[in-house]
A and B are shown apart, each in its own frame.
Chain A
Amino acid sequence: MGWVSKVEIISLGTLISALTWSSILSLMAIGITLLYRTTKVPNFAHASFVTTGVYSATIVSLMGFHPYLGMFLGFILGGLEGLVLFYAILEPLRRRRSSIFILMIATLSYDILLYGLLNVLADDLQTTYKILARMIYYSRLDFSIGGVPGVAVISLLALITTVILLYILLNRTTLGVALRACMENTALAQTLGINVSLMLLFSWFIAGGIAGVAGALLPFYTMCGPYIGMLYIAEMFCASILGGLDQIYGAPLGGFLIGFAKVALISVLASFVGPWITEYAPIIPLAAMAVALVLVPKGLVAIKIRRG
C-alpha cells in the first residue's frame, strides 16, 4: 500500500517536534484555563505573559547564565505581571461588578500595554547589548540526549512537574482547597471566611508564572520576537477550549491534540499534497476549535465525565 509507506515519512524528528510544541502549548493553556476557572474571564493578556518569558530567557543569557534558567525569572516576572493586572485593573472592575465583557477588554488593553513595553525592552536590548533582540533563537545553545534536542525533554518535564505541583497545591494544601472553593462557589467561599480576592490574586500569580515558564522554553523551539505571544494566542485558546475551559487538567489534553494535529498531521498532509500546505498550519487549531465548539462546547474532558 502506497500510503502506508508515506505515513512513515513522519520522521522521529517530526514527532519530537510535535511533542515539544504540545508540551509548551499545554503549559500556556493551563494558565488560561486556571484563570477562567477562578476569575471567569478569558485572559487575552496571556500572550504578553508568554512573551515576557521569552525575554526573561534573553536577560538571563545576557547575564551569562544558560537561557534555560530563564524559566525561573520567567515564572517570577510573568507572575508579577499577572498580579499587577489583577490588582490594578481587574479587582477595581470586579468591585464595581463590571460584566465579563468589560473584564475581557481590560485584559486586552493590558496586553496592548505589555506589548508596547516588551517592544521598548527589545529596542533597548538591541541598542545596549548589540543583540538581535527581535530574532531570539537559542537552538544552538541547546543540549541533546542521543539526538533528541534538550528542549523536548525539558518542556515535557516542565509540563509534568507543573501538573503534579498544581495537583498537590490544589488537593493537598489548605491554600489550594480554599482556591478550589473559590472556583466552585465564590459567594459561599466568602461566607466561610476565605479572602476571595487574595485567592484570585494568587491564581493570577500562578497562571502568569506558568505562562512565563512556557515563554522561556519557546526560543529553543522557534524564532521569537515581541510578537510571538500574539502569534500564538489564538492557538492557546484553541487548546484551552478543546480541553474544556472548565477543567484545569483538560488543558494538557487539548494542548497535545492541537500540538500533534498542527505539527505531525500537517507533515503527513505535506507528504501527500506537497510542502505548500505547511504554510496553512495555523488554520488547523482553529478548525479543531470550531469543530469542538459545535460538537462539545464544554470541551473533551466533559465527555469523559458524562460517560463515567
Chain B
Amino acid sequence: MQLPLNEIALFMTDFLALFGVYLIVTISLNIQRGLAGIPQFGLMFAIAGGAYITGNMATRIAVWILGIKTDLDPVIDCTAVLSMVNPMLNTQPMTSFILILIYLAIGATFGAVLGLIQVAPAIRLREDYLAITLLAFAEIINVIATAYKPLLGGAFGVQVPSVYGWAGGYRYGVATLAILVIAAISYLYAEYLERTPLGRTLKAIRENEVAAASLGKSLVKYRAIAIVIGSALCGMAGTLWTLYGEYVTPTYTRFYWTFLPWLMVLLGGIGSNRGALLGTAIFVALDKLIIYYKHSFEAFLPFDVVWLDYILLGIITAIILIYRPQGLLPERPYIPKDIRKRIEEKIKQF
C-alpha cells in the first residue's frame, strides 16, 4: 500500500503552522500570566490587532516599496492592486523577506500599543477587575474592524500580498518555517527572560504584590512591561497567521484566540514553557484530527461537530482545574548555578 505522501505533507504543514502560531500565543500568555500574574483574558485583542493592522498596511507598504504608481485604494481594491504587486514579489525573494520583517515589526508595535490601551484603566486594580477589563476591551476590536470600512473593507475582509509566493509550490512550507522560526525565538526568549532580573521581579510581584512593592518594585511599571512584551508577541502571531493565509477577515473570536490558548497553558502548567509547548502540541493535534475526521463524525451526529468541540473543551478544562490544577509539566523553581553552588557549600560546612 502506498502512503498518500502529499496528503501527509499537507497535513503536517498545516499542523505545524497552526502549532507555531499558537505556541507564540501561549508563550505570550505564559509571560503575562505565568511570570507576571496578569489574568490576561483578552489575548484576542493584540492577536486580532496584529492581524488587522497587517491586513490594512501590508499592500500599502508593498506598493510603496516596489515603487508602483496607482490611484487604487490598497484595502478596498486589494485584488486589483495585488494583481500588480504579487507578480513582482514572486520574482524578488529579497524584497519579500524585507517586507515580512517590516510587517512583523508593525504587528509587534501595534500589538504592544493595544496591550497598553487594554490594561490602562485597570492596571492598578485587583486581579478580578483586571480580568474583566481585559476581557471586555478585547470584545471591541471586532466592532471597530467591522464598522470602520477603511481598516479591512468591512466584514468581508482583505487580501494581503503573497510574500511567500517566490517559493512556488513550497510556499506553505516556507511560510510554516517562518512561523516556526519566530515561535522558536519566542520560546528561547521566554526561557531567557525567566533567568533575568526582570523575570525574577515579575515572579516576585506575582507571588506577593505587597512584599514586592515594599522592596520598591512598582506594580504598575512591571505589569506594563509584561503586557507590552506579551502583546507584542501576540501581534506578531496575528501578522504571521495573516501572511500564512494571505487573507484576513474581522472574525477573530474569543474561543479560538483567548480560550484555547488558556486551555493549552493550563494543561501544560501555568508558568512552565515546556508545559506551554506540550499543551499547544496536544490541543492543535486534537483540533486538526477532529477537523480531518469531521466527516466520519457527521454521519452519526445530528448537529455540527464544531459544537462538540466547544462542549468537550469546556468539560476538559473543568476536569483539569479540579484534578490537576498545576498542569502536566508544572513550573519548576529556577535556582541560578552560582547560588546553587553556594547553597551546596553551605550544606557541606554544617
Contacts and interface: CB of A to CB of B under 8 A. Distances in A.
A282 B121 contact: no
A194 interface: no
Nearest to B124: A297
Contacts of B259: 108-109, 112
Interface residues of B, number: 44
Q: Which of A105, A115, A238 has the most CB of B within 10 A?
A: A105
A98 B129 contact: no
Nearest to B136: A234
A117 B128 CA distance: 27
B135 A234 contact: yes
A305 interface: no
Contacts of B314: 109-116
Contact of A102 (B125, B302, B307, B325): B325
Given A112-B313, A113-B314, A119 B321 contact: no
Interface of A: 36, 40-42, 44, 88-89, 92-93, 96, 98, 100-102, 104-106, 108-117, 119-120, 123-124, 127, 230, 233-234, 237-238, 241, 245, 276, 279-280, 282-283, 286, 289-291, 293-294, 297
Given A93-B322, A237-B136, 11 more contacts: A89-B322, A100-B127, A105-B317, A110-B318, A113-B311, A113-B313, A127-B302, A230-B254, A234-B135, A279-B146, A293-B121
Given A127-B302, A286-B140, A289-B121, A101 B311 contact: no
Contacts of B302: 123-124, 127
B308 A116 contact: yes
Interface string B311-336: 10111011001100100000000000
Interface in B107-150: 120-122, 125, 127-129, 131-133, 135-137, 139-140, 143-144, 146-147
B303 interface: yes
Contacts of B308: 116, 120
B39 A286 contact: no
A98 B140 contact: no
Interface residues of A, dominant DSSP: helix
Given A109-B317, A234-B136, A104 B131 contact: yes
A282 B143 contact: yes
A233 B136 CA distance: 8
Contacts of B325: 96, 98, 102
Interface string B200-235: 000000000000000000000000000000000000
28 contacts: A41-B128, A96-B322, A98-B325, A101-B127, A102-B325, A105-B321, A108-B317, A110-B318, A112-B259, A112-B313, A114-B314, A115-B310, A116-B308, A116-B311, A119-B304, A123-B304, A124-B303, A233-B135, A233-B139, A234-B135, A234-B140, A237-B132, A279-B143, A279-B147, A283-B140, A286-B140, A290-B121, A291-B121
B262 interface: yes
Interface of B: 39, 41, 120-122, 125, 127-129, 131-133, 135-137, 139-140, 143-144, 146-147, 254-255, 259, 262-263, 266, 302-304, 306-311, 313-315, 317-318, 321-322, 325
A110 B313 CA distance: 10
A293 B119 CA distance: 11
B140 A89 contact: no
B129 A293 contact: yes
B122 A104 contact: no
B127 A286 contact: no
A42 B308 CA distance: 26
Nearest to B311: A116
A41 B128 CA distance: 7
B39 A112 contact: no
